[in-house]
Structure 1
């Protein structure tokens, strides 16, 4: 895959992702206003179980489709690709239906016995209905990423958010009066309807694109594709399922450990909701760029690896790591300087701003992690990714048990930072060994940090000379705009980035 294709695809996905996340924030702001921090906590408690189901029927299969589609299309085997998608969709749908039935029937047991929160029974049952549709949608999206057509998945993201917001807005007035449990159920209904709509949307376009492609008699056998898909999907799914289960266990532990610190049950859920439903989405917002890049990088690196193009791999890995670290540093200083005001502006909640300042130090490692996994998977280092992620999760769970009862939420944040640093160092070390990557701390870390410090110094001087009285929200937007307007030219002037990196 050409560098231009990766950049164009990343830009398309980034634009779609930005629109989708902005709409997602509109949704979260509206939700936080009607259900509060405790309601957001209940809503977020549904996701660990949903993510386990998603990982089981989608995660490994999605990667397998993206990778094998890229390989088969490079050989000109459109007929084989269509046959493969047919097989994979059937497998994923079967898994999705089985998980839907299991989750629906066991929702009460999971809510009461595992999560210890009976108010999410209805939410789990509602979200279970969307699982087969999510599985089908991700099979089709994997195909479009594999053939380097990311526009449709990007449009589907935006469409899903619009439908989700519309459903929540239309139903909220009817459900909110019935209590917090029903109000949370509305949010889950919006999510489920959005997933179902996305499935129908992408499948219709896939059908329109491939209906004229006939499966030739010379096409590879079903057994061949089942073996190829299984060879990639089963190890990946197993690895990711273990990490997702541990991650879900970690998430479910947090409210319980906060109670050990001395919080009441409801307040622990509120703190959990503020962290995961308000602060985390703001910190994760910039990952729309790195996530988009990782989706485009996997088939690109896989193709280069299959063709033994070591120079292409080394160059792609180097640029990707540089941009991920640099973006993390830029947002580290951004949230450190403007986190307090941002939390108040978006959610009208001072505690969100306090959390953003603490979470800002995660940014360089957090954004790096979203791309390192794809780079390692692309060069067939799945087990290394799995091992490193398990180490990180083990560290976080240890910190949850040891530090939250002593330090409260601060103990979890310390564990999160330590685990991200350890996993990032391990991943980069493995990439350096595998690709002969040259890591330059001056260009990758020191210069971007100095540019950010210089920008904030200029901002301080500027604000002393000029005063604005447009109101809190407008003034905050001016402050943030100043930061990005100044820091980008500084990064270019110091050659941390160059226009040739963006050459299309």
Structure 2
């Protein structure tokens, strides 16, 4: 495979996952909006209480295996040891089945003691119980995704993500509407069960694709010039040695959510809020502000997933130039996308939370956590780079350090009436900032990557500052013009028109700064290549 083809393959993989992730996020965003309008912040708070417990146990059962699997398979294929690559997949699949089943049963049996131990609202029991079977299904699904990603084929993962989220959305909305007359606790449980049906649908898609491609896969694997020398015991050891640090790193994320779950409602009560008020405020932060923050990071999640096998392949082959290219591309795109997203959420926090979720109070934590988008994105992309070169323990350790900062700030500030829910938001942003900057330090140290200050910092920051001034001026002008007739519709039209206009303004600014590259635009599904070709002909774009 030529160098240019490898570059294109990496970008194409990220583009495929981005398109699928965007579709999944839109659906996920959609059902959260609908659910919030049906069961309110209090109901979403109960639903959200099941997730930190679920995600912690889910991480233990499956997070390390697919990433380790993708890296190990990419390593073996790069070394032309394809039979060993398939052996690794078969062992990982069995591990996922056993571990997923055990942990799913543990969650179901320990639901009540966990809720009591964490001093959660007792009504969240049904939500925890309803979501527990999802761990088993997701664990198996993750092994198939890791296999295909190791082959640098992102299409199966993309298709399963879309169907998983679609079935999840339909199930959640249907069950919530059916169960809400019986009480918020049952409606929250119905919403939680959507994770089970969605995961099952995603797994079925992967099994169908695997079955259809089985002959082609075996034909490809038979081309390898290796005899299977790996024992199952050695494969398990290798998966564990790579997967445990990845799991520990991934575990920090839900642990941060668990810290929020434990600290925020309790510390808000110390600040003077009643139990229901504290639950509602927690719902605004966890179920309204954080989904808005996480939405733009879908691109960096996709980049991170695509980076692991891509950089692992280049690292195995000893191609430093290719490693640096992929690192530069990923980090530059991360900054270009996450920085304006942070600024936009900060400037338009109130209209976005009111129009989308009908919870304008969530604008308070959103303004403080909006800059977390930038740091979360940097942390995700840099983690993918470090995992790709085999330094899996470094991002885990750095995220743990960030989590300690988050916990300390959260605990101290949330109990102060002057901060309240702002303390939780501020803790999240600072925690991810610490983890991101530590990761970047080690990316530079381990790969020799040199940050281009002008390209990756100066131009994007100037562009975002100009965009910020544009947003304020444009929003005020358009609202004053449209608000003469109907204030309600003027509010909605002005908000979304401003978002679109700001995106165009930012894009044009980057073009004028010569900051947009041909490959950047080619990542955009459907219209990307045509748009890139047109702008190149007009002289606005370089290769």
> Is the TM value for this pair above 0.5?
yes
* Contact in 2 for aligned 1:45/1:252 (Cα 8 Å): no
> What is the Cα deviation at residue 375 of structure 1?
1.0
CA distance in structure 2 between the aligned counterparts of 1:494 and 1:92, rounded to whole angstroms: 48
Determine which of 118, 134, 156 is the counterpart of 1:130. Answer: 134
* Contact in 1 for aligned 2:60/2:251 (Cα 8 Å): yes
Provide closer, same or farther for how the CA distance between residues 254 and 87 of structure 1 changes in structure 2, counting only shifts above 3 A.
same
Q: How does 1:375-414 map to 2 (within 5 A)?
A: 375-406=385-416, 407-414=419-426
Determine which of 81, 90, 98 is the counterpart of 1:94. Answer: 98
Counterpart of 1:27? 31
CA distance in structure 1 between the aligned counterparts of 2:366 and 2:125, rounded to whole angstroms: 31
Provide closer, same or farther for how the CA distance between residues 418 and 463 of structure 1 changes in structure 2, counting only shifts above 3 A.
closer
Judge which range, 449-458 or 58-67, deviates more.
449-458
Counterpart of 1:325? 335
* Contact in 1 for aligned 2:71/2:309 (Cα 8 Å): yes
> What is the Cα deviation at residue 344 of structure 1?
1.5
CA distance in structure 1 between the aligned counterparts of 2:316 and 2:65, rounded to whole angstroms: 19
Determine which of 211, 219, 226 is the counterpart of 2:228. Answer: 219
Q: If the length of structure 2 is used for normalisation, what is the TM-score?
A: 0.87
Counterpart of 1:361? 371
> What is the Cα deviation at residue 223 of structure 1?
2.9
Provide closer, same or farther for how the CA distance between residues 303 and 56 of structure 1 changes in structure 2, counting only shifts above 3 A.
same
Q: How does 1:443-462 map to 2 (within 5 A)?
A: 443-459=455-471
CA distance in structure 2 between the aligned counterparts of 1:399 and 1:85, rounded to whole angstroms: 42
* Contact in 1 for aligned 2:168/2:195 (Cα 8 Å): yes
* Contact in 2 for aligned 1:82/1:210 (Cα 8 Å): no
> What is the Cα deviation at residue 371 of structure 1?
0.6
CA distance in structure 2 between the aligned counterparts of 1:334 and 1:353, rounded to whole angstroms: 12
CA distance in structure 2 between the aligned counterparts of 1:464 and 1:345, rounded to whole angstroms: 17
1:425 matched to 2:437: yes
> What is the Cα deviation at residue 462 of structure 1?
5.1
Determine which of 233, 256, 260 is the counterpart of 2:243. Answer: 233
> What is the Cα deviation at residue 236 of structure 1?
2.8
CA distance in structure 2 between the aligned counterparts of 1:46 and 1:311, rounded to whole angstroms: 45
Q: How does 1:238-387 map to 2 (within 5 A)?
A: 238-241=248-251, 244-245=254-255, 247-387=257-397
Give the 3-state SS of the residue equivalent to 2:371 in structure 1. Answer: helix
Determine which of 121, 125, 128 is the counterpart of 1:121. Answer: 125
Provide closer, same or farther for how the CA distance between residues 462 and 185 of structure 1 changes in structure 2, counting only shifts above 3 A.
closer
1:43 matched to 2:55: no
> What is the Cα deviation at residue 244 of structure 1?
4.4
1:437 matched to 2:446: no
> What is the Cα deviation at residue 386 of structure 1?
2.0
Provide closer, same or farther for how the CA distance between residues 268 and 224 of structure 1 changes in structure 2, counting only shifts above 3 A.
same
Provide closer, same or farther for how the CA distance between residues 451 and 192 of structure 1 changes in structure 2, counting only shifts above 3 A.
same
CA distance in structure 2 between the aligned counterparts of 1:136 and 1:19, rounded to whole angstroms: 23
Provide closer, same or farther for how the CA distance between residues 454 and 93 of structure 1 changes in structure 2, counting only shifts above 3 A.
same
* Contact in 2 for aligned 1:48/1:252 (Cα 8 Å): no
Give the 3-state SS of the residue equivalent to 1:308 in structure 2. Answer: coil
CA distance in structure 2 between the aligned counterparts of 1:76 and 1:440, rounded to whole angstroms: 35
CA distance in structure 1 between the aligned counterparts of 2:86 and 2:448, rounded to whole angstroms: 37
Give the 3-state SS of the residue equivalent to 1:303 in structure 2. Answer: helix
Give the 3-state SS of the residue equivalent to 1:65 in structure 2. Answer: helix
Give the 3-state SS of the residue equivalent to 1:219 in structure 2. Answer: coil
1:262-289 Cα shifts (integer Å, max 9, x gaps): 1111111111111111111111111011
Counterpart of 1:475? 494
Give the 3-state SS of the residue equivalent to 1:16 in structure 2. Answer: helix
CA distance in structure 2 between the aligned counterparts of 1:465 and 1:179, rounded to whole angstroms: 45
* Contact in 2 for aligned 1:332/1:361 (Cα 8 Å): yes
Give the 3-state SS of the residue equivalent to 2:318 in structure 1. Answer: coil
CA distance in structure 2 between the aligned counterparts of 1:306 and 1:171, rounded to whole angstroms: 49
* Contact in 2 for aligned 1:161/1:194 (Cα 8 Å): yes
> What is the Cα deviation at residue 355 of structure 1?
2.9
1:84 matched to 2:88: yes
CA distance in structure 2 between the aligned counterparts of 1:487 and 1:240, rounded to whole angstroms: 33
> What is the Cα deviation at residue 318 of structure 1?
2.2
Counterpart of 1:487? 506
Provide closer, same or farther for how the CA distance between residues 67 and 439 of structure 1 changes in structure 2, counting only shifts above 3 A.
same
Determine which of 58, 65, 75 is the counterpart of 2:62. Answer: 58
Counterpart of 1:10? 14
Provide closer, same or farther for how the CA distance between residues 459 and 273 of structure 1 changes in structure 2, counting only shifts above 3 A.
closer
Give the 3-state SS of the residue equivalent to 1:197 in structure 2. Answer: helix
> What is the Cα deviation at residue 56 of structure 1?
1.0
> What is the Cα deviation at residue 396 of structure 1?
1.0
* Contact in 1 for aligned 2:248/2:396 (Cα 8 Å): no
Judge which range, 124-133 or 446-455, deviates more.
446-455
What RMSD over aligned residues (CA atoms) do the two structures have, in Å?
A: 2.3
Instruction: Name the structure, 1 or 2, with higher relative contact order (CA <8 Å, separation 6+).
Output: 1
